Amino acid sequence: MVETSNPKFDSPVNEVILTALEECQGYVSGEDLSRQLGLSRAAIWKRIRTLRQDGYRIEASPHRGYRLVERPDLLSAREIGRKLKAVRVAAEIHTLGEVSSTNDVAYELAFQGAREGVVVIAESQTQGRGRMSRFWLSPAGSNLYLSLILRPAIPPRLAPLLTYLGVIATAEALSQCFSLKVEVKWPNDVLVRGRKLAGLLNEVKAETDRVDFVVLGFGVNLNMEADAFPAELSEKATSVMRELGHRISRVEFTRSLLEWLDFWYNEFLLQGADVIIKKWEAVARIGGKTLEVSSFGDVYRGVAEGLDHDGALVIRTGKDETIRVVAGDVTNVSVQPQGPGVTEEFLDA
Ligand code: BTN
């Protein structure tokens, strides 16, 4: 049994207080609040105290009342849900402290019947994991660890497309919020200057002919300090803060990510797989790149043609020979030489 806190707005009373404080853009008297909410002045004061404990900076002035000075960068359902323009995605937002893995929590919720669009976010993970059971570093207070439950009516062979959809949304949110120039590495990595900044983990529960649910997990390094990366990751991984040199709003990024996910998921449902395939190919600029891909112990080299209709990576390995790779890692990318001065990129994050 999974227990979560903070469904979309955790306390309607606190929400009304915050809305009142925000709308007046100045002071609201304790008397007005108590009249509006039908609560005693002492009860209002108690609420203000809990909001302050949550990180809201609320000034109290004896004759004027209360004034909201600053909202916290708190990954709470209340902060993320505020002004969120997403319809299908983020039907419910659960925010938690420390968990083993948000994908485990979301999987369990989905297994118990949670609806499509349920989002699970944790402050930290003790067993955050990536593809191929790799460990995902998940310290508290800096990054985003988010899992989303989807229930698309699609056959299991199309489920990998949701990874591409997630990558597209992550890349769009990073460039919208921070103007970062992101690179995408097949199948699920988002990099900046060749270092990994975000990764996706797509876990599926399916029957032979239909998907029951998909849990799409996102790990995005946001406010992680450069010296917080262990030595073995320091050259391979990065964070938004490391790239920009200052802290950013985790709440704003999360909102943007959910809105892009909502947009691309709707496109996928309305227009089909092709729209996702084309967009991922464009974002990843995959066509024509010379790749080395390892898959189930074999290594293939060739020129990428793009994605097949089910999301498999198509590589031209010889004049009349192409192969389809459904799972694996790109271990080396070199841009096809088009003349002098073309540089080689090695992406081995
Ligand atoms: C990868 O790059 O291989 C995927 C990394 C995915 C990490 C995220 S963090 C939130 C969710 N919970 C997990 O345990 N993993 C994903």
pLDDT tens-digit map of 183-199: 999 999 999 999 999 99
Give 295-312 pLDDT, tens digit per residue. 999 999 999 999 999 999
Closest CA to 284 of 186, 150, 206: 186
Average pLDDT, the chain: 90
Give residues with Cβ within 8 angstroms of 295, minimum separation 6.
325, 326, 327, 328, 329
Q: What's the token pair of residue 175?
A: 């460039």
Closest CA to 31 of 71, 69, 62: 62
| Cα-to-chain-centroid distance, residue 108 | 19
**CA angle 23–123–159, rounded 5-degree value:** 100
Helix (H/G/I), strand (E/B), else coil: 36: helix
pTM over 0.85: yes
Q: Is the peptide bond before 187 cis (omega within 30 degrees of 0)?
A: yes
Q: Using a 6 Å CB cutoff, which residues line ligand 1?
A: 101-103, 125, 128-131, 134, 136, 145-147, 188-189, 199-201, 217-219
Give 140-185 pLDDT, tens digit per residue. 989 999 999 999 999 999 999 999 999 999 999 999 999 999 999 9
Nearest residue (by CA) to ligand 1, atom 4, is 130
Nearest residue (by CA) to ligand 1, atom 7, is 219
CA distance 85 to 94: 17
Give 93-116 pLDDT, tens digit per residue. 999 999 999 999 999 999 999 999
Nearest residue (by CA) to ligand 1, atom 10, is 145
Q: Does residue 5 have a pLDDT over 50?
A: no
Q: pLDDT > 90: what percent of the chain?
A: 78
User: Which of 201, 220, 250 to mutate for ligand 1's pocket (most ligand atoms within 8 Å of CB)?
Assistant: 201
Nearest residue (by CA) to ligand 1, atom 16, is 217
